[in-house]
Every structure is written in C-alpha cells, then in structure tokens.
Structure 1
Amino acid sequence: MKQSLFENRHQNEWDSFAQQLDALEKGKAQAEACKDFAADYRQICQHLALAQARGYSSHLIDQLQQMAMRGHQQFYRHRSHIGAQLVRFVFGGFPRLVRSEWRFVCSASLLFFGSLALMGLLTYLFPELIYGLVSPDQVSEMERMYDPDARRIGRFGERGSGDDWMMFGFYIMNNIGIAFQTFASGLLLGLGSLFFLLFNGLMIGAVAGHLTRIGYSETFWSFVVGHGAFELTAIALAGAAGLKLGWALLAPGRLRRGEALRQAASKAVQLVAGVILFLLIAAFIEAFWSSTTVATPQVKYIVGACLWALVLGYLTLAGRRSHAPD
C-alpha cells in the first residue's frame, strides 16, 4: 500500500488519538471519551509497525512513534491509578453506595437484626427453643467455647496465641462464605437472601439467648461486641445486595429482566466488595483481640462500643463532602 493511501485511510484515527492524548495529559479527559483508549493505543502501535516494515518516510514513522510513546506513558500511568480508585471507594464511594441503597439496606437489617433480637429474647425466656435450631452436641460445644474458665474465648478447643493466624484465615473463609451465600442466593428472586438473613439471625440469636441465660453473658458478649460491628453489619449488607438482585428480577419496570439484572448487579457487586473489606477487618479483630483474656470484659465493651460507633459513623457520614464520580 502506498504511503499516501495509508495516511488518507488512517489520518482521522490518528487525529482522534492525538486529541485523547492531549486531554489525558491536561487532566481533562472524561471516562466515557477515553473508554476505547487501550484499543486505540494498540492500533497506533500496529500502524507504527506497518510503517516501519513498509519503509515509509521517516517523518510519518517519527509521528507515529511519538504518539505511541505518549500513549504508552498515559496507558501505564492510568493503570497505576487503581490504588487511588480503591482509596476513593473505601473512603467515599462505598458509604455513599450504602446510603443510596438505603431501602434494601434497611430491609435486610430489619430481617437480620430483628430475627436475631427476637430469637435471643425467646430463647432466654423459653430455654428449650435452642434445641429446635441447634443440636445438643453443638450447644455443648458452644458452652465450652464461652466457658469463663477457658484460656482462649470463642475457640473450638484450647488454642494458644500461636494459632491466631490460622484462626484469622479460618474466620475469613467462613465469614466470606456466609456472606457470598447470602448475596448470591438473591438470584432466586430474592428468596435465598431472605432465607439466609432470617436463618443466620435466628441461629445467632438463639446462641446469644442461651449463653446469656446460663450465665456466660460476660464472656460471650465481650467476645462478640468488637468484631460484631463489622461482621454482623457485613452480613446485613450482603443480604441487601442479594435483595437488590432479587428485586431486579421481580420488578424490572420498563427494562427487560436481563438488563435490569445487569444494572442491579453492577451496584450489588460493589456492595459485596465493601462487605469483603468489612469481613477482613472483622476476622482480624476476632482472631487477635476478641479471643484474648488479657483485656478485661469492661475494656472490650468500651472498644466494642467505639467500633460500633465507627461503623455507623462511617456508613452515615463518610463521603458526604465529595461528589466526584467513583
């Protein structure tokens, strides 16, 4: 192909790419305008290789080479912004998303915390109810875990502090598994999320009511009050994400169900990303703080109250001053 024909065929593409580069270098580029930047950059590199292979003029090769070098710098500079995007999501995007989805968050919280509180009260008043949800062997194991004389509280068996990292990994896998189950089951028209929110609430409430009734309240509540701020909130938020998926299938409005589900999933997945962060924090606190007997229960209550205030303040106040897109 002659150089003149090659230039005429691709000049508009080069001009468009040059405009993208100018916008990126000046920091004025819009996300939508540059969504095809990576593909355009690869195209420029291909044109440069063709020009060199066909022996086109040095003027054209220098022009394409210059654009390729500028594109390379912008491509890798913007890829490095992933960390900055993560920071913006954590400190602003996630709490704003939770507030924007307040209907699903409130519904899931009412189902989960409501069933937990109700079952806790009923089990405390009617002790035999615990055996309708938990087997006698599991009840005995729970009593051993929260025995005031235990060396490490909340553990299956006596473990030393050297096992904290192992328990940290166990808590991560267990908690994320519960959260993902609660979220993904929302695809069953929301019924799966509804079931797991109620099931987990009833189970936790039953154990809490039983241990409180037999006199293990101090060891149990001082153990859960710290990491519970993040863990229990995360379960409710995972349920909210699942309910959002289910509602998109049940009431897609004027959209087709597939499109409604796609739009709902984009927000629901972001909620789950925040849930995972909460569960990582909860697992760390549970492994290294909640189970220790060095701190007195009173100290744990104070720390737990601060953590609950931190979570509630973060979700209700963080990101209110920033309105930049995430």
Structure 2
Amino acid sequence: MIALYQRTGTHLSAIRSRAADPALVARLSRIVLTARGAITGGGALSWSQVGQFFTATFPLAVFQAWRWWCAVATSFTVLSFGLMWYVASHPDFQHAFLTDDQIQQLVNTDFVSYYSEHAAQNFALHVWTNNALISALCLASGVLVIPVFLALAYNLLNVGLDGGLMIAGGRTDVFFGLILPHGLLELTAVFVAAGVGLRIGWAWIAPGPLRSRGQALGAAARSAMLVALGLVVVLAVSGLIEAFVTPSGLPTPVRIGIGVLAWGGFLTYVVAFGSRARNRRYSTDLGEEFTEAAVPTV
C-alpha cells in the first residue's frame, strides 16, 4: 500500500507540473489524502505540540523574518516622528483634516477619553479584534504587497496626525504617556505582521534558484500562519494593557514602565527562543511527509 501511495503521489506531481487535468488532479488528490490517512493514522493535538509552538516554532518564525519587520518598524517610526513634527509646525496642514473646534476637542477631550469611555473588558475586546484584523490584513494580503503599505500608511497617518496635534496643543506628555504603555507592544505586533506579509510577497517575486514560485510562496505562507496564531496572544496582552493600564490612575512612569517590560519581554522571548530553535534546526514548514511530492523534470 505504501508503494502504491508513493506511486500515486508521483503521478499526481507529474500531472500537476506538465498538463494538469482538473478532474484527474482532484481524483488523485482524494486518493492520496485517503491513503495518507490510512497509512499514518489520525493525530490529536497534545500539550507537547502546544509547548513546542510557543517555545520553538512561533518565535522561530518571527526571528527568521526579523530583517523584514525591523525594517518596517524603523521606517514607520522615522516617518511617524517626521509627520508629527510637520503637523505640529504647519497649522495649515492641520486644517486640511480638522477644523479649529475639532482640533480643540481632540486635544482637550477626545484623545484622553477614548481610553476610558467604555468598560475596560469591552474596550480590551474591541482593540484586540481591531488590531488582529489589521495584522490579518497585512498577512493575508502580503502576496499583493501594496495592501500592506496601504494599511501601514493609514496607521501612520493616524499616529502622526494625532501626535502632531497633541504636540502643537502643548500636550506632548499626555500623548506619549497614553500611547507608549500599550503602543510599544501593539505596534511591534503590527510591524511583525506587516514584515512577514511582505516576506510572503517577496517569496513570490524572487523565489530563488532552487524553488518554484509556488513552492517559495507556500513555504513563506505556512510560516506566516504560525506568526498569525502567535500574534493572537501578543495582541491580547497589548489589548489588556491598553484597557486596564493605559487609562489607569497609576503614575505615568509606572504605566510606561509596564509597557516597556511587556515590549522588552516579547523581544527577548523572540530572540532567545527563536535563536535556540534555529540552532536546534527546528523548521517552520511542514515535514516532508506533508508537503507536495516532487519528481525530477527534464
């Protein structure tokens, strides 16, 4: 049966690479999947797999893409501060977006009240789902590249405009005192999603000499799925900080300190566990038994 399974897998690969017949491909795919299930049996999720995900595969997937998300983070930060300075020093640019009354409302009331106008548990769920949606958009649309830049540009405009208006209104301390506790971890998670999404797009553009575009894209996308699952937890933590710490009555240095600890803890976790997983030769891709069979072609 194993020999027949391997032969059918080879036939399926050959048909896909030469003259794909959709009906025949679908039929052979069903046969291969059924045979694989009969040979390998079903698998159940175990706590060891969950532990391996959090101690090896997820931090490794983030660590492997560090150049991408660090480039995104650096560019976003530089452009954000540049936009804040421009908005703060150019009143005419401010009025292209808001009237004087709206600016005063934002600076004196709306920016601060945003973090406390809803019940903390409801607000935590809201920001969690909103940031998860942004991250999912960056990951899912990475192959198209442009939507990732559009999502980043939208967030850049929001941060730069709000920050510039608060600075121009003499409330620089309030702005950074409210945005830093949760923003460090929250934006880092978004940067990771954007960087990994762009890495998917680059795998499609430049797959390398030893892989087809489909193979490179598949490997990058499978690694991105690990990142997507892990960021659910990271964004949940940032959401809790934004809902319960940011608007709390704690002194500003304490609130910022909590944010810095959470942010530094995540970066340390990625570097420490990711580098260890790399040294132990863990992989973020599926095992050979789960990937598409390949045959030499002439």
Shared fold, TM over 0.5: yes
Shift of 1:140: 5.4
Secondary structure class of the residue paired with 1:247: helix
Deviations 1:204-253 (A, max 9, x none): 12211221221222332222211112210011011112101211222223
Question: Measured at CA, do residues 261 and 80 of structure 1 come closer, stay the same or move farther in structure 2, by a change above 3 Å?
Answer: closer
Partner of 2:63: 99
Where 1:79 maps in the other structure, the secondary structure is coil
In the other structure, the counterpart of 2:227 is 271
Partner residue of 1:202 out of 157, 160, 164: 157
Aligned equivalent of 1:253, options 208, 223, 237: 208
User: Is 1:154 aligned to 2:121, yes or no?
Assistant: no
The structure whose RCO (Cα within 8 Å, separation 6+) is larger is 2
What percentage of aligned pairs have identical amino acids?
26
AA matched with 1:325: Y
- Distance 1:270-1:41 versus aligned 2 partners, 3 A rule: closer
Q: What residue in structure 1 maps to residue 127 of structure 2? A: 171
Deviations 1:285-313 (A, max 9, x none): 11111122x21212212223323322332
Aligned to 1:313: 268
Contact 1:191 1:246 in 2 (8 A): no
Q: Which among 174, 177, 183 is matched to residue 219 of structure 1?
A: 174
Mapped contact 2:124–2:240 kept (Cα < 8 A): yes
d(CA) in 1 for partners of 2:143 and 2:167?
36
Residue identity opposite 1:97 in structure 2: A
Quick one: distance in 2 between partners of 1:178 and 1:140? 29
* Pair 1:185–1:205, CA change in 2 (3 A): same
Report the number of matched residues. Answer: 248
1:115 and 1:202 in contact (8 A); partners too: no
Q: Structure 2 unaligned runs (5+)? A: 5-34, 284-298
Structure 1 Cα separation of the partners of residues 269 and 66 of structure 2: 14
Number of the residue aligned with 2:199: 244
Q: Which of 1 and 2 has greater Rg?
A: 1
TM-score after normalising by structure 1: 0.66
The equivalent position to 1:291 in structure 2, one of 247, 257, 262, is 247
- Paired with 1:186 and 1:100, the residues of 2 have a C-alpha distance of 16
Among 56, 72, 91, the alignment partner of 1:108 is 72
Aligned to 1:145: 110
Give the deviation of 1:184 after TM superposition. 2.2
Specify the SS of the correspondent of 1:224: helix
Q: In 2, Cα distance between the equivalents of 1:197 and 1:230?
A: 16
Equivalent runs, 1:17-96 vs 2, <5 Å: 38-40=37-39, 79-81=44-46, 83-96=47-60
Contact 1:183 1:238 in 2 (8 A): yes
- Comparing 202-211 with 90-99, greater Cα deviation is found at 90-99
Give 3-state SS (helix, strand or coil) of 1:252's partner.
coil
Could you tell which deviates more after superposition, 277-286 or 245-254?
245-254
Say if 1:182 and 1:238, in contact at 8 Å, map to a contact too: yes
The one-letter code sitting in structure 1 at the alignment partner of 2:115 is R
Counterpart-to-counterpart distance in 1, 2:61 and 2:178: 30
The structural deviation recorded for 1:200 is 1.5
Contact map agreement 1:146 1:219 (CA 8 A) in 2: no
What displacement does 1:315 show?
A: 2.6
Gapped regions of structure 1 (runs ≥ 5): 1-9, 14-35, 43-74, 148-152
Deviation at residue 266 of structure 1 after TM alignment: 0.9
Deviation at 1:282, TM superposition (A): 0.9
Contact 1:226 1:285 in 2 (8 A): yes
Aligned position for 2:286:
none
Q: Contact (CA 8 Å) 1:112, 1:200: kept in 2 or not?
A: no
